[in-house]
Amino acid sequence: MENEILIRKIELKDNAGIATIIRSSLAEFGANKPGTVFFDNTTDHLFEMFQEPGSIYYVAEQDGKVLGGAGVYPSKDLPPQTCELVKMYLHPAARGKGLGKLLITRSLEFAKGYGYLQVYIETMPELKKAVSIYEKFGFDYLNGPLGNTGHFGCDVWMLKKL
């Protein structure tokens, strides 16, 4: 059906489009700094990254065009039964329509179904709108990072119990 938004698992063909959305979004908000996914090599290889057991990445697509995505990943050194909500970015034209909430909901449903008990987020104050959405989903602030993501440029840490 034309104009319908499709939410699906990432495919190899999505790598370049998602990487462009992630980097342009970070640049738009002045968050394109060292220690973030802007400079992370995995940003160019998300399909490959999300072959890891316990991970999933959802892509939103409309009329064959990638609008954004989000997923969960068992990031290094997180506590047992904890995953990270990662790479939640939308093209500017796709924002404000509830698509981010839908992608987060799908990601959290996967996490719960997989047996995770909590979901962690690392983000930045520059991404104010995303932080406010995480708050509405029931993520609580932490005083410091969990695990070892290597994203030292992130200084907002949050956790949600499932």
Kindly report, residue by residue over 18-38, the tens digit of the pLDDT.
Answer: 999 999 999 999 989 888 889
Task: Give residue 36's identity as a one-letter amino acid code.
Answer: T
Give residue 3's Cα distance to chain centre.
24
What's the confidence (pLDDT) of residue 1?
43
Computed from CA positions of residues 18, 9, 134, 80, in that sequence, does the dihedral angle turn out positive or negative?
negative
Give the percent of the chain with pLDDT over 90.
78
Query: What's the whole-model pTM score?
Result: 0.94
Domain ranges of the chain: 5-161
Terminal Cα distance for the chain, rounded:
34
Instruction: Give the span between the Cα atoms of 97 and 93, in whole angstroms.
Output: 9
Q: What is the pLDDT of residues 120-155, one digit of tens each?
A: 999 998 888 899 999 999 999 999 999 888 788 889
- Enclosing H/E stretch for 118: strand 118-123
Do residues 72 and 55 lie in contact, with contact meaning Cβ atoms separated by under 8 Å?
Answer: yes
Q: Which residue is it, tokens 């802007």?
A: 38
Sequence-separated (6 or more) residues with CB below 8 Å from residue 68: 18, 21, 59, 60, 88, 89, 90, 91, 94, 99, 100, 103
Average pLDDT over residues 30-50: 92
Strands of 5-9's sheet, edge to edge? 5-9, 56-62, 65-73, 82-90, 118-123, 156-161, 140-141
Q: Which CATH number fits domain 5-161: 1.10.20.10, 1.10.40.50, 3.40.1160.10, 3.40.630.30?
A: 3.40.630.30
Indicate the pairing of strand 56-62 with strand 5-9. Answer: antiparallel
